[in-house]
Amino acid sequence: MASADDADKAKSKRLFVNHIDQYQGKNVAKYLSKCVVGASLEEPEEEEDAKSTDSAFNEPTKKEGCYEVVGTMKSKDGTVPLFVKEAIKFENRDQLYEHLVECDVIVYDITEDPDQIDEAVWAVSELHSDLEKIEKPKMFILISTVMTWAKSKPLDPDDPEIPFTEDDYRRRKPHPNFKEHISAEKTVLKMGKTNKAKLVTYVVASGLSYGAEENIFHYLFKAAWHNAPHLQCFGNGQNVLPTIHIRDLAAVIQNIADSKPKVRYLIAKDDSQTTLEDIVKAVSSGLGTGKVKNITKEEALLNKDIGQSDFDMLLVSLRMDAVNVKENMRINWASEAGIVENIQQIIKEYKDSRRLQPLRVCVLGPPAVGKSTVISKLCEHYKLHHIKIKDVIDNAIEFHTITSRRADSAEEQEDDEGRAQESQELLDVINEGRDQNNGRVEDQYVIRFFRDKLKSMPCQNQGFIIDGFPKTMEQAKELFLNEDDEEPEESAKGGNFDKQLMPEFIFCLEAGDEFLKNRVMNLPESVVIGTHNTEEGLLMRLERYHAINTEDETVLNYFDELEFHPERLDVTKDASEMMHDTVEKMKQIIGGARNYGPTREELEQIKIREEEARIKREEEAQEEKMRREAEEATERKNRQDEWTKRLNEVKREEYELLEAQSIPLRNYLMKHVMPTLTQGLIDCAKVRPEDPIDYIAEFLFQNNPQVD
Give residue-wise pLDDT tens across range 423-473. Answer: 888 888 888 888 888 888 999 999 999 999 999 999 999 999 999 999 999
Distances 67 to 245, 588, 611 between C-alpha atoms, Å: 21, 41, 50
Model confidence at 403: pLDDT above 80: yes
Contacts of 228 (CB under 8 A, 6+ apart): 288, 289
Give the separation between CA 309 and CA 599, rounded to whole angstroms. 23
Share of residues in the chain with pLDDT > 90 (%): 62
Strands 243-245 and 208-210: parallel
- Could you give the CA distance from residue 100 to residue 97 in angstroms, rounded to a whole number? 5
pLDDT of residue 699: 86
- pLDDT of res. 558: 92
* Whole-number pLDDT of residue 485: 53
Residue 45's pLDDT is 58
Mean pLDDT of the chain: 88
Listed in sequence order, the residues at least 6 apart from 45 whose beta carbon sits closer than 8 Å to its beta carbon are none
* DSSP codes joined into one string, 223-279: HHHTT-SSEEEETTS--EE-EEEHHHHHHHHHHHHHH--S-SEEEE--S--EEHHHH
Residue 3 has pLDDT above 60, yes or no: no
For strands 359-364 and 505-510, give the pairing: parallel
pLDDT of residue 50: 40
Residue 52: pLDDT band (50, 70, 90) is very low
- Does residue 229 contact residue 289 with C-beta atoms inside 8 Å? yes
pTM as predicted: 0.81
Rounded average pLDDT over 284-296: 93
Q: Which residues contact 100 (CB under 8 A, 6 or more apart)?
A: 16, 106, 123, 126, 127
Measured CA distances, 548 to 469, 474, 552 (Å): 13, 11, 10
Q: Is the link from the previous residue into 470 a cis peptide, with omega within 30 of 0?
A: yes
**pLDDT tops 90 at residue 225:** yes
- Angstrom CA distances, 234 to 276, 309, 596, stand at 8, 14, 25
Domains of the chain: 2-211+242-272+318-335 (3.40.50.720), 359-384+462-590 (3.40.50.300), 600-702 (no CATH)
Residues 6+ apart with CB under 8 A from 297: 234, 235, 315
Q: How many CA atoms lie within 13 A of 32 on its CB side?
A: 33
The pLDDT tens digits of the residues spanning 514-548 come to 999 888 887 776 665 656 667 777 888 899 999 98
Q: Cα–Cα distance between 363 and 369 in angstroms, integer?
A: 11
Cα separation of 509 and 370, whole Å? 8
Lowest mean pLDDT across 295-299, 414-418, 584-588: 414-418
| Three-state secondary structure string covering 326-343 | HHHCCCCCCCCCCCCCCH
Q: Residues 447-456: pLDDT tens digits?
A: 999 999 999 9
The residues facing 568 across adjacent strands are 508
- Give dist(CA 633, CA 627) in Å, integer: 10
- Helix H or strand E encompassing 14: strand 14-17
Which residues lie closer than 8 Å to 66 by C-beta, 6 or more apart? Answer: 12, 33, 34, 35, 36, 37
Three-class SS state of 223 = helix
**Can you give the pLDDT at residue 1?**
39
Three-class DSSP category at 143: strand
Query: Can you give the pLDDT at residue 57?
Result: 52
What's the pLDDT tens digit per position in 92-116?
A: 999 999 999 999 999 999 999 999 9
- For residues 126, 131, 133 and 134, what is the CA-based torsion angle, rounded to 10 degrees? 90
600-633 pLDDT per residue, tens: 777 788 889 899 999 999 999 999 999 999 999 9
Helix/strand/coil percentages in the chain, nearest 5: 55, 10, 35
Question: In the predicted model, is pLDDT for residue 486 greater than 60?
Answer: no
What digits encode the pLDDT tens for the residues 232-252? 999 899 999 999 999 999 999
Reply yes or no on whether the pLDDT at 55 is more than 60.
no
Q: Which of 16, 41, 13, 241 is nearest to 143 (CA)?
A: 16
Q: Which residues pair with 145 in a beta bridge?
A: 206
- Nearest of 79, 102, 87, 76 to residue 18 by alpha carbon: 87
pLDDT at position 674: 85
Tell me the average pLDDT across 62-84: 88
**CA-based radius of gyration for the chain:** 45
